[in-house]
Amino acid sequence: MQWWIFRLPPLFLLPFILYDFEIFILIQSFLFFHVSLGLKTIINDYTHNKNQKYLYYWLSVFLILN
């Protein structure tokens, strides 16, 4: 019966770990969305050539996803 004492507490902690992981994923997704909106605003404000804007948009998408 002693080994149950060591095995039981992690089972009670499992739902809280999953809850923390969901919150972490939610915060990360909002962070990436915030960064991408900020980069798009900066690109729109400081580049005037249409081809450069598209190039910078694609670069920002690939850099954020990497």
Per-residue pLDDT band at 4 (split at 50, 70, 90)? confident
Confidence (pTM): 0.63
Indicate whether 2 pLDDT > 70.
yes
Mean pLDDT, to the nearest integer, of 33-54?
Answer: 91
One-letter-per-residue 3-state SS of the chain: CHHHHHHHHHHHHHHHHHHHHHHHHHHHHHHHHHHHHHHHHHHHHHCCCHHHHHHHHHHHHHHHHC
- Give me the pLDDT at residue 11, please: 76
Q: What is the pLDDT of residues 46-59, one digit of tens each?
A: 999 999 999 999 99
